[in-house]
């Protein structure tokens, strides 16, 4: 009977959704922003997508070791501090959408992973509060 109970316990644990079994790997968002994470776990990457109440993406964040992003000095835009790291936002081009303010950057986290951020906003005015939200993230 003990083997039966052990197998039943393992079956119940296996059926428990991963979202209940583990906490999010994405950093906590500031409370004054009505945003939530949509998270996707892959073997070597965590993809976090911050969305507003309407489901619109505010920005995305990829957490991985040795993320391939390298900023180019000629594309530098705003300076920033994220999680205590000084960095720059870089202009990103979105070939399929003209008139979009797009930025990207990456920082190295204390655990050795890289955090790559991608932001797309309709205007410079819409970009500013998103960059402010990102500057308050802590990992």
In this structure, what CATH number is given to the domain that contains residue 105?
3.40.1000
Assigned domain for 3 exists: no
CA 60 – CA 37 distance, rounded (Å) = 9
Number of domains, the chain: 1
- Domain, as residue range, for 93: 26-135
Q: Residues 3-37: pLDDT tens digits?
A: 333 323 333 333 334 433 346 789 988 887 789 99
Asked whether residue 4 is assigned to any structural domain, the reply reads: no
* pLDDT at site 23: 62
Residue 21 lies in a domain: no
Question: Per the domain annotation, does 10 fall within a domain?
Answer: no
Q: What is the rounded distance in angstroms from the CA atom of residue 42 to the CA atom of residue 108?
A: 19
Q: For position 34, what pLDDT does the model report?
A: 85
pLDDT of res. 95: 66
Total residue count of the chain as it appears in this document: 139
> Read out DSSP for 44-104?
TEEEEEEEETTS-EEEEEEEETT------GGGEEEEEEETTEEEEEEE---TT-TT-EEEE
Q: Is residue 120 part of a domain?
A: yes
Per-residue pLDDT tens digits for 64-99: 999 999 999 999 999 999 999 999 999 997 767 778
**Reading across the β-sheet that carries 57-64, which strands appear in turn?**
35-42, 45-52, 57-64, 114-121, 101-108, 85-91, 76-82
The verdict on residue 18 lying in a domain is: no
pLDDT of res. 76: 97
């Amino acid at each position: 009977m003990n083997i039966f109970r052990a197998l039943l316990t393992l079956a119940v644990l296996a059926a428990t959704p991963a979202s209940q079994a583990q906490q999010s790997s994405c950093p906590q968002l500031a409370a004054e922003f009505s945003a939530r994470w949509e998270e996707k776990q892959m073997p070597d990457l965590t993809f976090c997508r911050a969305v507003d109440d309407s489901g619109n993406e505010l920005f995305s964040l990829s957490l991985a070791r040795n993320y391939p992003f390298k900023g180019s000095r000629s594309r530098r835009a705003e300076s920033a501090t994220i999680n205590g790291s000084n960095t720059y936002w870089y202009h990103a081009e979105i070939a399929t959408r003209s008139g979009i303010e797009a930025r990207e950057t990456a920082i190295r986290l204390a655990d050795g992973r890289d955090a790559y951020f991608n932001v797309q906003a309709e205007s410079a005015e819409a970009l500013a509060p998103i960059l402010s939200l990102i500057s308050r993230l802590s990992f």
